[in-house]
Amino acid sequence: MAFELPKLDYAYDALEPSIDAKTMEIHHTKHHQGYTDKLNAAIKGTEYEGKTIENILKNVDMENKAVRNNGGGFYNHSLFWKIMSPNGGGHPSGELKTAIEKEFGSYEEFKTKFEETAKGQFGSGWAFLCVHEGGKVAICGCPNQDNSLMPGVGCGGTPVLGLDVWEHAYYLKYQNKRPDYVSAFFDVINWEEVSKIYAQNK
C-alpha cells in the first residue's frame, strides 16, 4: 500500500487568523503531497515498502536522503495537521498536564521553552514535544524534516506535538516574524488530540 496524503478534518480557512487559508492550501496540497509522492517513489521495491511510516523512520539509513527527508516530511506534516483545530487553544489536561508540569514545573514554563526552541531553530526545521516510554516528556528541535523517531536525532521518543518552522509554513502571512507565528500556533493546538497521542505512546 502506497502512502496517501491525509485529508484534513477542517477547511483551509478554519485556522485563521493564526494560519491563513492560502498557506494551508499550498502547504497541504503542494508541500505535503510532494513529500508523499517522493516517499512512495523512494521506497518502491526496497525493504521499506509495505512498512508503517513509524517503522521506516525508526530504521531508516540516515544516509538515504530520499527516504529520510521525504519520510520525515510525510510523518511530520501528518502529525501537524492532526494536532491543530479551529476549536484549539487552552491548556492540556489529565495525564499530559501532569507530565508537562512534572518535567517543566508549569504549563507556562513549558510554553516558554517550546517557543524558544521553535524560534531558535536555525534555518528550516521543527519543534517537538516528545514522550518517552514511561510517560516522561521532552522538547527537542530537529533540522529539516528530521524527527525524534529517527536514529540519533533530537531527544528520542515519539512526537506528540510538532510545529513546522520552515518558511513555507508561515511566510505568506508572517514574513520574517517567526515569533508571531509560533505564538499564534498555541491558539490552534488541539490538546485533546495531543493527549490521545501521548496516551498511545507513553
pLDDT at site 125: 97
pLDDT at site 52: 97
Residue 86 — very low, low, confident or very high, per pLDDT cuts 50/70/90? very high
Residue 75 — very low, low, confident or very high, per pLDDT cuts 50/70/90? very high
CATH 3.55.40.20 fits 94-201, yes or no: yes
Cell of 52: 508503517
131 strand-pairing partners = 137, 158
pLDDT at site 77: 98
In the chain, list all ranges with CATH 1.10.287.990. 21-82
Burial environment of residue 142 by CB neighbours within 10 A (0 to 12, 13 to 18, 19 or more): buried
pLDDT at site 154: 75
Predicted TM-score (pTM) of this structure: 0.96
pLDDT at site 156: 87
pLDDT at site 155: 81
**What percent of the chain shows pLDDT beyond 70?**
100
pLDDT tens profile 150-170:
999 978 899 999 999 999 999
> Grid cell 509495505 — which residue?
50
In the chain, list all ranges with CATH 3.55.40.20. 94-201
Contact 161, 178 (CB under 8 A): no
Q: Which CATH superfamily is domain 21-82 in?
A: Fe,Mn superoxide dismutase (SOD) domain (1.10.287.990)
Task: Average the pLDDT over 66-73 and give the result.
Answer: 98
pLDDT at site 45: 94
Residue 183 — very low, low, confident or very high, per pLDDT cuts 50/70/90? very high
